[in-house]
A and B are shown apart, each in its own frame.
Chain A
């Protein structure tokens, strides 16, 4: 696994999408079970105005990281960058699709940096996380 497609990929190309169905057990493992947590305490989450427990936004960065490692391998683990905004809440039981489109290739001292527009969208087709990620072609 790793950078099997990075060298040949072109600007405008869409990356193979990932699908993530997020269970409460996974949220518990990620966030740690605590009282008064919007991630793991359903009563508290409802008190704060949400329909149920929320997925930590940080979990989306892991999904985008997976997408980028599939694309670039080493060049994301060592030299990768990411900048994202969490624009809609994600709840336990939601199904996210993680996608990306190559936007640019930038020549740097260490090599060529591939810049990808990335996003996660929910089962209703609404974007929940948006931003960019990049890494080095080796």
Chain B
């Protein structure tokens, strides 16, 4: 296809989207009317306030045309566009928007994470705010969600949401995910359960969930522990309370932090070289999380530890705990429990703001 043909195709999709938007909205309105009757019989005056924090991600990204489901790169969706696109939110809550960033999840930084957590803490401290929703790219969504689980100082519901298909795509999942995220954040029963991830009608704990597929809409799963509940048409339903320490009960405090200690990850495989461990140590890293070991790592870890680097053992299998062992403890290696490497890294960054004592670090990995 020539570039001019592509351009006209894009123009066609754009104009057809515009022309059909009124019809689409009225259809949607009729379609969800009875849902509202069941779930939200409140009047506008008593609607809860839900704070929406936008960071970007696929849910806020446009593609060249409706079939662009990968490598979409044709502009970003502003918070205003998100809300205009989803008038049904007005029946659920008063939405108050804070734009943190508008980037893909690969660009998330410690500075942005801290800005997001501080902003959520300030907002949720206001009594009239019922809960918070955060838009995020799905690639590293679980890391940000777990960071918030450890740093939000509120038991009000915090829901992180994203989409697997861009804003412009055919059968895009973003609108329903965002609608369900706001419903969950406005549900009193969702309080006290820590930070949640809502996509594909499913409510997951930030602690348990991981991204499990490159493109499918059911990508977010908790392989062993399963979801906390579901967002169904008739109601938001919960089956589990997480028992790990989180949010209001967390000991971590970001209010005075401007950055986080550097922690990196090393993957394990046959004949893995110790060079990355030594290079990271040279570069001044404060902690290393390894996802499975290699015989060559043992000596390199000793070198790293002699320079004060903390070593945490995670696993590349995707489920199950790294059990506590005398051997690991004797070597001063911390077990990541059943945290995957990317989440163990988040916890270690926060833990290192408090201590570098291996026993105290292990307590934190046992509890959070």
Question: Are these two chains actual partners, yes or no?
Answer: no
Seen from chain B, the residues whose Cβ lies within 8 Å of a Cβ on chain A are none
Seen from chain A, the residues whose Cβ lies within 8 Å of a Cβ on chain B are none
